[in-house]
Amino acid sequence: MYEVVASKNGWKEKVLHNFRGGKDGQDPWTGVALDNSGNIYGTSAQGGQWNAGTVYELQPQAGRAWYKEMVLWSFDSSDGNLPEGGLVLDSAGDLYGTTSGGGAYSWGVVFKLVP
């Protein structure tokens, strides 16, 4: 996960989080959603507790250059797998997204996560 910031000499990349694979998640293929507090929400297509993908949150750490990752959800295939689309964040803080596999018929799901 990175951000591109303006500098005197053009643009500079700043790494916000390095995924480790496994329960941390891997393959964050999609864009992210941001809330008003600076938290970043996204999905990883693989990884998590059952290696079926995750929904994660990156929280900025006051006075530090890095973000703390928190896995909000690990898919287990019965509730979806391979979340390859971005997330939508509503004004109540609910997250909406889709998976391309898993669910009752193995063709994916539309999901909602409520804080």
Provide the pLDDT for residue 101: 97
Provide the pLDDT for residue 82: 97
Provide the pLDDT for residue 66: 81
Provide the pLDDT for residue 86: 92
Provide the pLDDT for residue 1: 77
pTM over the 0.75 mark: yes
Nearest CA to 45 among 56, 34, 33?
56
Cα of first residue to Cα of last residue in the chain, in angstroms, is 23
Residue 44 pairs with which residues in a beta bridge?
54
Provide the pLDDT for residue 64: 81
**Full pLDDT tens readout for the chain, 115 residues:** 788 889 899 999 988 899 999 999 999 999 999 999 999 999 999 999 999 999 999 999 988 878 999 999 999 999 999 999 899 999 999 999 999 999 999 999 999 999 9
HSE-up of residue 108 (Cα within 13 Å, Cβ side)? 10
Provide the pLDDT for residue 14: 86
User: What residue type is assigned to position 45 of the chain?
Assistant: A
